[in-house]
Each structure stands twice: as C-alpha cells, then as structure tokens.
C-alpha cells in the first residue's frame, strides 16, 4: 500500500497504475479519517468492484463553521492506515491543509436547491466546503467510481447533483448505512458520547423504524408524521432536535403538510439531526412510495 502525503506523490502512484493497468477501474473513497466499519465497507466495495482502490483522509476545514469541532475532530492516522491496508486500499492520500489549500481559496463550488434544507440550513456554508473539497479530490484522483455512505443522504444528493451539473466523469455509488448491533448509525463522532448519551442515542434508529410503519397508516399526513417523529425522539431526555423532516429524494423538496404520505409517488427521506450534549448525530431512512404502495 502506498501512502501519499503530497499531490505529486498521488499523481505518481496513479500514473504508474494507469500505465501498468490501463483498463482497470479506479475506485475512490473520500473520508475525514478516524475510520470505522462504515468506511471499511466502502473500501471493500471499491476494491471488489474496481480492482484498484484509493482512500483519502483529510479533515477539511472549509466545511466546518466557526463554532464547530474542526480542532477537536477525532484523528488517528496510524490506526487509519492499518484499517485501510486491512481492507484492500492501494493508495492512501493523506494531505495536509497546506497541501490542499496552499492559498486561501477564492473559488467556490456552490450547489443550490438540495443544500437549502437539513444540514445546509443549520450549518451555513457547510456544503460550499464539501463541494470545493470533493471537486478538488475528484480532479486529483480522477476515479471511475466514488463511494459514499447513505448515512449522510443529503451529502450524497449534493455530490450527485454537482457531478451531474459539472459533467465530472465519475459514477457516484451510494452505499447502505452501517449500524451498531443496537441500531445506532456508525459515526466518527460517536466517540464524543457519554455512556448515558450513547444509550439514549438509539432513539434515532428506533424512531426511523417506527416511521416506516407510520407511513403505511391510512390518512397519515406529513404534518402528523413529523409530529410523531418529534414526539418519539422527545422520549430521550437528553435529545435536542436540530431538525426532523420528511422530504422528497433526491431533490429534497417539502411535501405539503396535509398531504397523505402514502399517496406520494417517488422516494421520500425521513432525515434527523439531533444533539446529545455537544454531539450532533444525523440519521435517515429512505423509502420509495408508489401512490399507495411502499417499500424501503
């Protein structure tokens, strides 16, 4: 496995690979490190489907707000390298901030529409930073396929739309959320949770499971479903809701408050962001409705 800390080293590794195996696909998994089994599942899939897999580890300062946890974001490079090697990665790209941004960027990649709700509303500027770094990484790696976890469904929608609008020649591969045995979605931020916060955080996955059943109820409107979701999360005393919304997917548009959910034709996303103490967790459930029928 090659560890590239500079763009020059990355290009050298990729050029050698393309020269030796011109017909082999390159799979790419962009991450901010502190890897867990969710990341590992993306790595394995990239390796299996493409034959050559690149992982990036870069905590991108451009997607953190002024009062967010950039400095405290968990990092463990040595452990990440071991996990990458174990899961078949061929190149790990681990640039410094100075390597990625030698000058303060004056170029912005702004994606409208799909960024206006959910995390885009509660974290202003976040997706501008995501769009900038992902577009840079796509140009640097030039992968055939890029793998993203659906735990952050809005991020997947944003990147798919950016890739489509800019005609970036990469296929985005959304991958299922990986969970703990009790249902909590894997996240690098889970390490911040106290024992009590961790025990209460399972209310997110339990609420989403209930939402799948509530959606099937005759007469269940968007307003009523949103109220039931918030009431369910409220059973956890430490939970403070940032948002709990039901939107179309991938356009992330609002449903009419009084519309019967089950009558919708297309995909809907039940998306949550909830704080436990200082730790903000996100989770979601994607469902497909067929004007009276439904499946997850």
Q: Which residues are annotated as a binding site?
A: 32-39, 63, 149-152, 155, 178, 186-189
Of 46, 18, 9, 5, which Cα lies nearest the Cα of 175? 46
Contact 154/130 with Cβ under 8 angstroms? no
Can you list the alpha helix ranges (DSSP code H) found in the chain? Answer: 7-20, 37-50, 77-86, 97-100, 119-122, 126-141, 153-165, 195-201, 203-215, 222-233
Of 141, 187, 161, 164, which Cα lies nearest the Cα of 30? 141
Catalytically annotated residues: 39
b/e code 41-70 from CB counts within 10 Å (16+ = b): bbbbbbbeebbbbbbbbbbbebbbeeeeee
Annotated binding site for beta-alanine: 63
Annotated binding site for ATP: 32-39, 149-152, 178, 186-189
The answer to whether the peptide bond before residue 250 is cis (omega within 30 degrees of 0) is: yes
Of 105, 128, 167, 133, which Cα lies nearest the Cα of 30? 133
Annotated binding site for (R)-pantoate: 63, 155
Dig out the tokens for 10 from the structure: 């990355």
Alpha-carbon span 282 to 152, nearest angstrom: 7
């Amino acid at each position: 496995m090659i560890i590239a800390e500079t763009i020059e080293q990355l290009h050298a590794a990729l050029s050698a690979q393309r020269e030796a195996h011109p017909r082999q696909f390159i799979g790419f998994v962009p991450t901010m490190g502190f890897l867990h089994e969710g990341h590992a599942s993306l790595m394995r899939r990239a390796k299996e489907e493409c034959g050559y897999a690149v992982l990036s580890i870069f905590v991108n300062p451009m997607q953190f707000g002024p009062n967010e946890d950039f400095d405290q974001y968990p990092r463990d490079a040595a452990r990440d390298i071991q996990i990458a090697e174990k899961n078949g990665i061929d190149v790990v790209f681990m640039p410094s901030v100075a390597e990625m941004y030698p000058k303060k960027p004056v170029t912005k990649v702004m994606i409208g529409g799909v960024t206006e709700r959910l995390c885009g509303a509660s974290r202003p500027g976040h997706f501008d930073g995501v769009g900038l770094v992902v577009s840079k990484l796509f140009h640097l790696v030039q992968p055939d396929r890029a793998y993203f976890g659906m735990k952050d469904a809005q991020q997947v929608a944003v990147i798919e739309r950016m890739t489509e609008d800019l005609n970036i020649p990469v296929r985005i591969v959304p991958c299922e959320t990986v969970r703990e045995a009790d249902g909590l979605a894997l996240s690098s931020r889970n390490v911040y949770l106290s024992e009590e916060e961790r025990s209460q955080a399972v209310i997110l996955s339990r609420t989403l499971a209930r939402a799948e059943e509530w959606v099937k109820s005759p007469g269940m409107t968007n307003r009523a479903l949103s109220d039931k979701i918030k009431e369910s999360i409220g059973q956890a005393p430490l939970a403070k809701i940032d948002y709990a919304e039901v939107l179309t997917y991938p356009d992330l548009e609002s449903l009419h408050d009084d519309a019967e959910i089950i009558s919708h034709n297309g995909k809907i996303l039940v998306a949550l962001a909830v704080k436990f103490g200082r730790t903000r967790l996100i989770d979601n459930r994607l469902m497909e409705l067929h004007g009276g029928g439904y499946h997850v």
